[in-house]
Structure formats: C-alpha cells, structure tokens
Amino acid sequence: MKPQARQKPKQPVKCMTHSESISAVDLFCGVGGLTHGLVRGGISVAAGIDIDKACRYPYESNNQARFLERDLKQLSVAEIEPLFSKDQVRLLAGCAPCQPFSTYSQAGRAKRSDGKWTLLTDFGRIVEELQPELVTMENVPQLPDHAVFNRFLRSLAGYHIWYDVVRCAEYGVPQSRKRLVLMASKLGPIELIPPTHAERPLTLREAIGGLPAIDAGQAHAKDRLHASCGLSPTNLRRIRASRPGGTWRDWPAYLLAECHERESGKTYPSVYGRMEWNAPAPTITTQCFGFGNGRFGHPEQDRAISLREAAIIQTFPKDYRFVPDDVPVQFAPLGRLIGNAVPVRIGEVVAETFVRHVAQVGVAV
C-alpha cells in the first residue's frame, strides 16, 4: 500500500536533527525478536513490555534493555514516557498478539470475532495519549479485514502512514512467512525500504545446514536448545516415507491415519511433511517442533526440526539464550515463544527504514 498522508498534528512537534538517535519502547516484546532487530538496525531500545514473565530471561539476557512485566490494559502513559531517552526521536513499537489464522486448510476460513483483537485497541489508546514521533506494528496479514484495524488507523490521526503485507523471504528471512507491517511518522511520508532478497531468498540449507545432526528425541551436547521431539514408531515410519516438499499423500496406504482418509482430512495437505533444502522454510508456528503439526520435518534427518533450528529460521542469532542453564528445555513453552516472535531480520529492516527516514527528513514538519 502507498503511504497515506494524514492531517497535520494538532500539537507542534519539536525539531530534531538527523544526527539525533531514535529511542524505542517495545510493547508486546516477547523474547525480543523485534527489539534485537531494532538494535541491529541502529535504534536504541530502552525497554520491552510484556505480560508473559517467561519472556524476561531471554529478553534481558540478549538485549541491553529493561523488561517490564505489565498488562497493557493496566499500563498508563505515565509509566511509558520516562522510559524514552530525552532529546531523541521516540519510537513506539507494538506487535499485539492476535488470534492466529490457520493456513493448513485449503477450505474456507471462518472469520474471527473482533473481540480477539482488543490488545490492538489498547495499543491505539497508548499511541493517542503518548503521541510518539514514530510508530510501528507487525501483525497477521488478515488484520485489515477487521474493523479493529480501521479503529487503530484512526488512533494515528496526524501521522503519515504506510502499511502492506510483507513477504519476509524478500528481506532475508529464510521462511515463507507473510506479515502485515505498519509504519507511521509525524516527521513526513515514510515507506519500508525495498526488498533486499527479492531475487534470491535465503534457503533452509543456508540457514541451518551447518548444524550438527541429531536424532529424534535427542539434544546436542553443546547446545541443549538444539533438541528434537521424540517420534512414535509409527511416525518414525511416516517420516522415513516422506520426501522433501511432499505430504502424507506420498505415504503407502498402511501409514495413513483415519483423519487422512476422511473427506475433511483431505484439505490438510501441509501436515506431516519434510522441508526442502533449496527453498525457504514454511512459516514457523508455535507448534513447529512437532512433525505432525505442519511441514516441519527435517529435509534429511528423520525428525522434526529442533528448537534451535526454528529460532535460526526466525533469524535469531545461533547463540540467542532462551532459558537459564538450570531450567529444563520444554518444547511447548519454547515453541510458543519462538513461533510468536517477530523475526529479528524484520526488526532490523524496520530500524533501517526509520534511521534513513529521520536522516532524510532532518527536522520535523
């Protein structure tokens, strides 16, 4: 979508030269994917805010920023405003968790109630009250189909707005993820930088091909996050019968589950499949550690991808820490945190856009 010009702010904006840096606060920060990317792209992140206490360790261990465990519904602007550095352009980032939409089924998808999207309304409230110079949001591609999105846009009165559905692979994320990215500025028109990998997306092999081999149910001795779920004897036979890029439809009949033989099961071709080395991975989800939850089988090894592989596909550094050394690695909680994260690379691209934007504008308008 092309940038949208909005009416001028009612309140004057202080002048800022391009030499001044950007100070950010990351709402719904999760484990720090967006924050880590913003920092890599040249933005100083003062703090991350999330209601999930499990995010504190990974957020603070990998980012030089404070973690505040808060419910956004109870969060006041008076708590947020002092977090920003003085005399810097303020960026408020927020990736409000929203009800996921299944992409496994080729059949029609039911519309979700707007009641699922109330956190976005809270984000809009904070924007209206705080009036930061810059705003960014990442969310599901279907969000513009819902009335809550138009309400959020109204909270950006006075901003120049750009938003579009971004193919993450075109920006160096080795997966087929698509996400809505929104950027807003009081300083002037803004638009995400052009794709950096449109001609040649990164492949799965380039992302995780160098990791040591492990078996299903095994964790690597030097990296306990490089761990893969165990497989039942039946699922072990199934993955051995699977080919990269294929589905359960490639299996011999005796391996089919009852759900596959029912008419309704035929609309789920993307489960129980292997990834392909020479293509981006499918979208990483919160259930990416399970072979039966999508096309999450390793291209060669008879197992689902490991948690570390999932994190790398989400463009986290290979040494990103998710749990303390004395805490057991649990697949479901960590899968949720990794799958819900903003890919680090997308945060970096957003940061590069804002840094260029502030430099080009020079002063507020």
Which residue's structure tokens are 């993307």? 270
pLDDT tens by residue, the chain, 365 residues: 545 544 444 343 444 433 348 999 999 999 999 999 999 999 999 999 999 999 999 999 999 999 999 998 899 999 999 999 988 999 999 988 765 444 443 344 444 444 557 889 999 999 999 999 999 999 999 999 999 999 999 999 999 999 999 999 999 999 999 999 999 999 999 999 999 999 999 999 999 999 999 999 999 999 999 999 999 999 999 999 999 988 888 888 888 876 655 544 455 566 788 999 999 999 999 999 999 888 999 999 999 999 999 999 999 999 999 999 999 999 999 999 999 999 999 999 999 999 999 999 874 43
Name the strand (E) or helix (H) holding 206: helix 204-208
3 state SS of 28: coil
Burial class (CB in 10 A: 0-12, 13-18, 19+), 195: middle
Q: Which residues contact 251 (CB under 8 A, 6 or more apart)?
A: 238, 241, 242, 272
DSSP string spanning 268-290? -TTSS-B--TTSPBPPP-TTTT-
Q: How far is CA 286 from CA 4, 55, 192, 289, 297, in A?
A: 34, 15, 27, 8, 15
* Confidence (pTM): 0.88
Alpha carbons 173 and 347: distance in angstroms, whole number: 11
Burial class (CB in 10 A: 0-12, 13-18, 19+), 264: exposed
**Enzyme catalytic residues:** 98
3 state SS of 260: helix
3 state SS of 362: coil
All structural domains of the chain: 22-200+342-361 (3.40.50.150), 204-339 (3.90.120.10)
Residue in 276, 273, 292 with CA at minimum distance from that of residue 231: 292
Residue in 328, 293, 288 with CA at minimum distance from that of residue 208: 288
Task: Check: CB of residue 23 under 8 Å from CB of residue 91.
Answer: yes
Structural tokens at position 333: 């909680």
Alpha carbons 262 and 128: distance in angstroms, whole number: 51
Alpha carbons 197 and 350: distance in angstroms, whole number: 15
